[in-house]
Every structure is written in C-alpha cells, then in structure tokens.
Structure 1
Amino acid sequence: MRLVPDQNKENVREPEDSRSSQAPAALEHSATVQPAQTPQAWSRGRRLMVSVPIFIILIGILVTVSNITAVPWKKEPTGQTMETLSPNTAVTFDNPTGASLPQRGSYKVASRHVTIKAKRPSTGEIQNVRVLIREPQDAPSGRPGVVFMHGAGYGTCDDSFGDVAFDLASAGFVTAVLDKPVWSTNDVNRDYPGSAAAYDQVVNYLRSLKSVNADRVGIYATSESTWISPYLLRMDRRIAFQVLLSPMVYSPRHSLGFMVAQDFALTGAHAGYQSIVRRLFHVDSSMLGLQNLDVPTQFDVGYSIPTFVAYGSKDVMTAQVDGVRKILDMAHRTGNWNITVRSYPVANHVLRLGDEADEGTAFSDDYVTDMVDWSQGTVHGLRQTSERVAGTRIYQSIAVPSELKSDRPLTVYGVALHIATSVLLLVATVIACIALASKARRMIRRHSGRTLGFARGFGNALLMLTVTTMATVVLFIAGLGQVVMGVVKLGWGGAPVEDPGMMYWSWPVIQIVCTFVVWAWSRVLTRVIEEASAHGLAQLPPRTGEIKAVVTGRKPVVASTRLGRVLFWVTTVAMLHVLLFFAFWGLFIY
C-alpha cells in the first residue's frame, strides 16, 4: 500500500506558519507608539502679542525711574543785571595832607623764603609750608602786609601770584605767598577751618616783622579761598582789609551747582546733559564722608572789614549779581559800608585776559593799578571819593539754585545702582573671558562638544544687544566728556565753540538707541518665554521632570551648557542694569 501525504495536515500547518510569521509584525505594529509632536513655533502675531506688553512694562519702568529721579530746577530770574555807577574803574581818595602815596614800581623788591610748620587743628597733622616773602627795599618802617590765599588746586609759593605779589611789594607792601596748606586732604575734602588757621600763622608771621605795621596786614583771596576767608576773619579780628577776586559767596553746593549748570548751557550741551547737574548736586555727600558741599561759608563777620571785590565779565564760574547783593547785605548787617566793587570787561575768573593756561596771560585793563590804589588808600585811612560800584555792567545768566539740598533716598538708590551695575559688568566680563579661553582651548585640542551651546540664536542675540548697549554707554561717556572739556575750557578763559557737535546730538541719539535696545530685549525675553512654554515651564504646575531637564541642560531653553546659561543670564541682568543706569541720569525723559 502506498502512503499518500495528508493534504489536510499540510493545509493546517501552513496557516499556522503564516500566522506565526505575521505575529511579530502584528505585535510590533500594535506596540508602536506615535512620536510626540514637537510644539509648533509661535507665529509672528503671537510673538508680537507677547513682546509688546513686555516692551511696555520695561519702558514704563525706565521712564518711571527717570521721572522719579528727576530734580526740579529753578533758573528764574534769568539774565539778571546790575548797573554800575560809573564805567571808570579807577579808585581815588581824598588826600587832605597832599602826601604822595607809593604806587606800583615805587620800590625795588627783594625776596626770600621762610618755612613754617602749619598745624592742622583737627588732626594735629603738620605740613612744612614754604613762604615766599617779597619786601620793598628802602621803604619806611610800619609797612602794610598782604597774605595771599590760593584758589582750587595745589599752588606753591613759587608758581602762584608772582606778578601781583611783586606789584604790591613794589608799592610798599610786604607780601607773603605760601604753599597751599593741604596736608593729607584733596580737592573734595579740603579742611577750610584748618586752612584758615594755617593762613593765620603766616599773617602772624608778617605781624612779627619789625618792618611791618601789625594793624595793617590784610589778605588777598581768590575763588575757592573765599570760602576760607570768612573762617579766617572769624578767628582773627585784626585783619585790616581784604581783596576778593571772584568770590564764590554761597556754599559749595550752591556755588558749584550754579557754575556747572551755567557752563553746561554756555557750551551748548543738550538739556539732557544739563539735567545731570541737578541729580549730581542733590547727592547726600555726608553719606560718603564728604562734608564740604554744605560747609557753612556765609558769615557776616567775613565782610565786616574794608573789602575790594573784583569780577570779570567773562567769568563763567561765579554768580555775580546775587553775589554782590549778598556781600552788601552781610557787610551792612555788621555796620560795614566800606565795600568797593569793580567789574572788568573781557576778564575771566581770575581777572586775566584770555586763557590762564597760557603762560604770561596779563591781568585785565587797570585791575592791578586799581587794586593797589585801593589798598594804599585803605591802609592809610583815607576817604574814598570814587564810586563804590564801577566798571562794566554786571551780568548773571541764571539764579543761584538755592533749592539744592541733599537727598538721601536718591543718593542711596544711585550708589546702590552704580555699584550693582559695575559688579555685574565685571562679573559678565570675567565669565565672557572664561568662555573665550575655554573655546580657544577646545579648538587647539580639537575636542568635540560645545563650549556654550546656545540654542535658537540666543548667542547671536546676546552678542548683538551687548555690543549695542555698551556702544551706547561709550557714546554717553564721550558726549559727557566733551561737555566737561568745554566747561574746563570756559573756566580757563576760552570761548565756547560755535557748533557744540557731539555734546548736543549724542543725547537724542542715545535716547533713540536705548528705545530700540529695550524693544530688542523684549523680543529676546519673548523667545525665552516661547522656549519655556515648549518645555512645559509656562504652565502651572510645570510639567513633571521638565525643570530638572532644563536646569541640567538635557532640554535647554537658552543654552545646553552651564557656562552658556550663566553667561546669558548674568549678561542679560547686567545690560538691564545699564538701562537702569541710563534711566537714573534721565535718558528716558522724552
């Protein structure tokens, strides 16, 4: 019997084989999970809807800061004038005896140096001060004396007052020019009462000379030293007379506030730069250990003796109309009516013609002759016959800003902001240097991987905005620097430029650039929010595990590396502080 294959069995097994071969595919198909959809990028419209509120909030904060830190400023009345009683500045006296008085050039002059130990009363500090004594030769005994008092800076006995001290000596006065007593102080913390004591030591030295009449020793003070002379007259009532060149009269805060505000305007600086003065002179300097801004200088006794006041029409540092009125008021309250005022055309702050920085710049017109004649007539007790107020018309552009005062909250905020901004910029710079060094090392060693790993163009955006912001800072410093140089030039007797240039146009340019920078930062922050939203960080509560993934860089928002993330956020905060710095100084007042 022949065996026949069982067809039915084959037919049964075939489907089994078929099912077994298809089962893995079926299982694979059934186990396949559809990939999570990548969140779609925001549309331009949605980004704009987020960017605009952020921009409004940022610009609103900056505008608010600018307006809160703004300081009111009263310039009225402007263009004040005081008419003189005669254009002739000559000083004459009634001389009933007919005796001729010595004049410039009456005597030959001999000079010698002495050294005194000037003691600072508040600290006991000693400064060896050289004094240049000039004496008239063959002059009779009982000569008058004059001690010269320095203005700002660090003048010495050999480079200060040489011509005028010689002229007075040639007219019969014994003159003393000393090294400026400064001890360990500087321009911002001068010891005015201590300086007065040092000058009084020299006054007493002249009085001790046999050739000098002790009751005829006076002082010659200029500019800053007119803040010292009232202290000297308060401690030494024997001072016989005083010559005051461009007296400041008011406290340093008010005098300097007036000077800087006026000079900023004269240089043609934009009103924005002028507003910096208002904030600057509202600083509470006592917090910084500096008391001189509000040191009292208006003592009636400081004008209780015969006084010769001289101003120049090109003096851009002193409030002349208000100053004369204040001097006359204080003098009259002490019963002193012996005040002579002279105003000289074309003369600057130190009564020179032209730029004092140039060697050999001459005094204005007949100033020295007038001053010597007044001093001679005064020490001889003669009655003045010439007008008390004479010369060119006295002019003052704006009022003295007497409303200036210390503002502690403004100072605290300003100091904290500037310190924070400086620290953040320094830290950002250090981190950037570390990043550059790390990238250079990777390139040299050809290591794979990213140094910063910025995502979605955040690196380019950060670089562009940082460069733009810092370029704006450079433009601000350059514009302010040009204003300061213009003010210094005016102070030395120069003329303001016809075209102010950068000191005018830089301010509105900075304002425009800052506005665009704020808009750009709002766009960057919008992108950060977009990325955070894509990672589930913009919802409450955040998606599980996403915060850790973002922090570790496994799912980066701005950068995949820790160094990149630190650099981004530190630099961003630093640049926003720079914008707050601009706001503090008024850049966002439109």
Structure 2
Amino acid sequence: MKVSVPIFIILMGILISVSHATTVEWNNNPIDQSVDTLASDTAVTFDNPDGQTLPALDTYKVATKSVWLDLKRPSTGEVQHAHVLIRYPKNTNATTGTTDGTDSSSPTKLPGVVFMHGAGYGTADNSFGDVAEDLSSAGFVTATVDKPVWSTNDITRDYPGSAHAYGQVVDYLRSMSMVDADRVGLYATSESTWISPYLVRDDGNIAFQILLSPMVHTPRHALGFFVAQDFAIVGANPGYQSIVRRVFSADTAQFGLTNLDFNPMIAEGYSIPTFVAYGSKDVMTAQVDGVRSIELMARQSDNWNVTVRNYPVANHVMRLGDEAEEGTPLVDRYERDMVDWAVGTSRGLKETSASIAGATIYQSIAVPTNLYGHTKLTIYGVVVHVAAVITLLVAFILSLIALERKIRYMIGRRGPSLGFVRGYQRVLITISATTIATLLLFFAGVGQIIWRVVTLIWGAAPESPGMIYWSWYAIQVVCVLVVWAWSRVFCQLLNTAAQKGLLRTPDEWRADFEIKRLTGKPVLRIRGTHTGPIIASTRLGVALFVATTLAMFCVLLVFAFWGLFVY
C-alpha cells in the first residue's frame, strides 16, 4: 500500500496534466442574445404605383422538362453528368410565344431561379419540389439540379467548384428563350449558403437571392456553434460538451482537409436583394450573429435591400414537426411570403413591409469565432489515438493466439499454457476488463448524444438527459479505479524485481561492477536471487502482458485527451 499510493498519485498527475494540456478555451458569451422584430406579421408587401398585375402563389399551372448538363469541376477537370429539372408556368405569353400587349415584337420574358442544395447528396428529382413548384406557379422558370459532388464527400466538398457548377446552371437558364437573363436569382439553403456568396461575386449579374437558414460563418465556427448548442440542449454532461471544443480545434489542414476554414464571409455575396428565412426551432443556425453579419456585409456592399423573416415552430429546413417523417409540410406563411418577395423583387418594386418580422430572433450562445486549428494538439491527438488502435489490435491478436494455445493445453493436459507468475494474470484481467468496459460506456454515451442531436435536428423534442449526463461521472469513477489497478501493477512489478534481486542501490551496483586489478577489465557480478520468471515463464505470456497493459494505458491517454481527468 505504501508503494501503491505514490505510484497512483504520479499516474493521476500525468493523466490530469494531459487533460489540462489538451483543454481548449471557449467563450460562450454573450449568451441568450436576441433581436426584436419590427412586426409579428411576416407578410411581404410592395409599393405598386403602376398598378402592375402581380402573379401570386398558384396563379399558373406548372409544366416540367428534363435536361442534362456536364458540370465541370475547374480544379481537376472532372465532369459530372447532372440531371436538371426545369419547371415553368403554363399559358404565359413567354411560354406560348405571344406578346403582353406592350411590346409588339416579342413576348415578355420570365424571371428564373436556380436551387442550391444543402448537406447530403440531393438530386434534381428529390429536392426542392414544393418550393420550386410554388415559384413556377407564380411565373418563375426554376431549375433544380443533381448536387455537384464529383469525387468529393461531405468532408472534402469543393465549394468554389460547386459555385462554378451552379453558375453553369444559371447560364443555361439564361440561355432559355422564355427567361429574362437579367432576372435570374438563387435559392440557397444551409450548406449552400457557403457557396452562394462566391457565385454572386463571380457572376456579377445574379438578380436576387433567397437564403434559407444561412450558415454565414466559416464551417469551423458555424458547425462548432451548432454542435455545442445542441449538446447543451439535449442535456449532455459538460464533460461531453468539452469534446466539441477539441474536435473543432483540429488542424485538419495538416491532412489536406481545408474546408473547416473555408471563408464564405464575402461582402460582395450580399450586394443584391436578399431574403433571409429562419425557423425558431432551428437548432443548427446562429441566427442573431447571422443576421448581424449579413446586414453588415450588405451595408459594406451598399445594399439596403435585406428582408429577414423568422417563423415560429419551423425547423432548419422550414418544416413543421419531425423531419424524419415523410411529407412534413413547410411552415405556415413561408411559401406565400417567399413567393411574394421574389415576385416583387424580380420586378424592381420597393418593399413596404417590415424588413425584419416574425418571431423574436434568439441565440443561446455566441459563435466561437476565436476558435482555430491547434497544430500541436492535433498531432498529439492523432499519435495517441493511432497508438491506442495499434496496441489494442496487437493485444487482441495475441489474446486470440493465447486462447487457442490455452485450449490446446487444456485438451492435451499439458499444464499452464502461459505460465504467468502468481498474481499477474489476475491483474491483467482486472485492468483489461475495467478499461474496456469504460471505453464501451464512453462510446455508448457519445453515441446516445449523437442520436439525440440528430433527432433534435429532425424536429423531435428533447428528452430527459439520463445516461448522457451521469455516464460521464461513471466513466471518471471507473477511470480512477483503472489507474489504481495500474498502480498495483507497477507495485507488483517492483515487488517481483526486488525479490529477484534486480532492484539495487547505487552502492550495490558499484560493488557488483568490480574491476580486476591485474587485467584492468571491468567484470559485472550481480549478487542476488534473480532466478525464475518475473512476469511469465513463456514468451507468449510476457508478450501478452506487455501488449495488453500498454494498450490499456494508451486508452487511458485517449480518455485524458478528451478531458475525462479534468471535468
């Protein structure tokens, strides 16, 4: 016990120091920010001095046609053969080829809208069907397209390349005889609002844009905000919430992944008339900081035409209820307000309704704009996790070999198969079982939190925290027990080494290291009783013990990296 306690204190000190060293500062202030709206009514109205007859929702029947475009990725030259679904209103003078009575030479052309996908792998057929139909029924030619992804995935998405691809769709829409090339706008949602600023800036002639739940800030800051907020909403223990800080402090650029710090905050991207729509149940978007940043960038580009609407009960995609269920409807008034705004704006009318309306805009914590990639922390984290995986794999393989050997020895009645010295087998089983159980509990807690966050995003109400709160403390308790077991392992090793005569004082080593007077050559004479095995009598037993204990200690270092010895 006298030896175990100091060893326990030293081990705990090492692990606590690691947890402190990997802590990332994160300031949630200011908290509970809000922006009061100017009106509760979200309706959009315009001054119409000339008495123009403005189409509205469901004014026209809608027809569709399919085309295919080769969307090129400029950085690599890759081409994606993408389906584009064109919707257009029937029986307008633009689609029938007749004039509107004011121009005897040509029919009046229609405004257009190109839709830009959020996260995932949306297609022309399964995305934006209802809102595209809405706009086409009010006189717009709309284009939905297969999301341009090429050979990328969610982590390696090419945002500038995507802007170029959507620009190709814009150009195609402009080339249609029924479309007014100067009145083509964008409808961007969530992830694509990181792309739309580049398209607006590079194109130079986008007429207007509708932004649904715009993310605005860099992916590192926007995603860091949304995950941290959602962890808190579902009731995750503050210890689990600290994991978010470490994850979004990763310097992914070291591995060629630069999207986390992709900068979408381009003032020129907000230099055109902009309609921003939020939902009060959106748990992904920093709405207060988003509104402020959009308005600031718009003002910098001398644009004062920004309309903001916040709809109560709507989620991130402006739907009602649980998005996991099929056919969830869009929130009341959103479709009509969005269409009315697009109609009036595309005709150059002046808006008379409030610029910010609907429910009060609220944000629980600040966007962590001071967050950046920590290179040393990232490298250390990778080394520790790779070491843990490799040592666990080696220990698992050796365990299978040992099990096979033990079965053979039992069948052949050949005695002990591994030859562990008394006490070591029990210690090995204890630290392995407790460490693996702790690891499984940790995975279960994180997995449960992720599932709760996903259902929250879909629109489900938060549940009682339960396991995702108390499991962190349970893991900490078990970790302390594991460290105590480790101290017993070292104590056992020291005790065995002492019994074998391998622990000696400096004077004893000098006495053992004698120099023959005649030859002048040193001779090492170890005095003691160091006979027999220290850990096990077989090489397999020794290898299994060393590999397993090393793997379990690497797992403890992983726990320390994620802050289990601090929070």
Work out whether the TM-score is over 0.5: yes
Look up the match of 2:7: 54
- 1:534 matched to 2:499? The reply is yes
| One of 339, 356, 365 as aligned partner of 1:398 | 365
Look up the match of 2:104: none
Whole-angstrom distance in 2 between the partners of 1:539 and 1:457: 23
Look up the match of 2:557: 580
Whole-angstrom distance in 2 between the partners of 1:458 and 1:546: 26
Is 1:240–1:306's contact at 8 Å kept on the other side of the alignment?
yes
Look up the match of 1:464: 430
1:200-249 deviations in Å (ceiling 9; x for gaps) = 10100010000000001000000000000011112101100000000000
Question: Alpha carbon RMSD of aligned pairs, Å?
Answer: 1.4
Q: 1:214 to 1:143 in 2, by over 3 A?
A: same
Shift of 1:521: 1.1
Is 2:501–2:529's contact at 8 Å kept on the other side of the alignment?
no
* Match runs of 1:273-292 below 5 Å: 273-292=240-259
List alignment gaps of at least 5 residues for structure 1.
Answer: 1-47
Shift of 1:99: 2.0
Of 122-131 and 350-359, deviating more is 350-359
| One of 527, 531, 534 as aligned partner of 1:557 | 534
Is 2:500–2:529's contact at 8 Å kept on the other side of the alignment?
no
Is 1:451–1:563's contact at 8 Å kept on the other side of the alignment?
no
- 1:271 matched to 2:238? The reply is yes
Look up the match of 1:20: none
Q: After TM superposition, which residue ranges in structure 1, 4 or more long, deviate above 4 angstroms?
A: 540-550
Look up the match of 1:27: none
| One of 297, 300, 317 as aligned partner of 1:330 | 297
In structure 1, give the amino acid aligned to 2:451. M
Shift of 1:520: 1.3
Whole-angstrom distance in 2 between the partners of 1:175 and 1:572: 63
* Match runs of 1:162-173 below 5 Å: 162-173=129-140
In structure 2, give the amino acid aligned to 1:149. M
Q: 1:457 to 1:545 in 2, by over 3 A?
A: farther
Identity %: 60
Look up the match of 1:22: none
Larger Rg: 1
Whole-angstrom distance in 2 between the partners of 1:443 and 1:453: 13
Is 2:8–2:487's contact at 8 Å kept on the other side of the alignment?
yes
Shift of 1:357: 2.0
Residue 479 of structure 1: SS of its match in structure 2? helix
Look up the match of 1:492: 458
| One of 51, 66, 83 as aligned partner of 2:36 | 83
Residue 3 of structure 2: SS of its match in structure 1? helix
Shift of 1:516: 1.1
Q: 1:230 to 1:545 in 2, by over 3 A?
A: farther
Whole-angstrom distance in 2 between the partners of 1:524 and 1:189: 45
- 1:359 matched to 2:326? The reply is yes
Residue 217 of structure 1: SS of its match in structure 2? strand
Q: 1:188 to 1:548 in 2, by over 3 A?
A: farther
Shift of 1:547: 11
1:71-105 deviations in Å (ceiling 9; x for gaps) = 11100010001000000000000111212211111
Look up the match of 2:387: 420
Work out the number of aligned pairs and report it.
538
Residue 49 of structure 1: SS of its match in structure 2? coil
- The two structures have a TM-score, normalised by structure 2, of 0.93
Residue 93 of structure 2: SS of its match in structure 1? coil
* Match runs of 1:449-460 below 5 Å: 449-460=415-426
Look up the match of 2:516: none
Residue 506 of structure 1: SS of its match in structure 2? helix
Shift of 1:171: 0.7
Is 2:430–2:485's contact at 8 Å kept on the other side of the alignment?
no
Of 240-249 and 459-468, deviating more is 459-468
Whole-angstrom distance in 2 between the partners of 1:524 and 1:99: 86
Residue 471 of structure 1: SS of its match in structure 2? helix
- 1:438 matched to 2:405? The reply is yes
Shift of 1:297: 0.7
Is 1:490–1:496's contact at 8 Å kept on the other side of the alignment?
yes
Look up the match of 2:480: 515
Q: 1:88 to 1:545 in 2, by over 3 A?
A: farther
1:124-180 deviations in Å (ceiling 9; x for gaps) = 001000001111001132101000000000001111001110111111100100000
Is 1:149–1:219's contact at 8 Å kept on the other side of the alignment?
yes
Is 1:535–1:546's contact at 8 Å kept on the other side of the alignment?
no
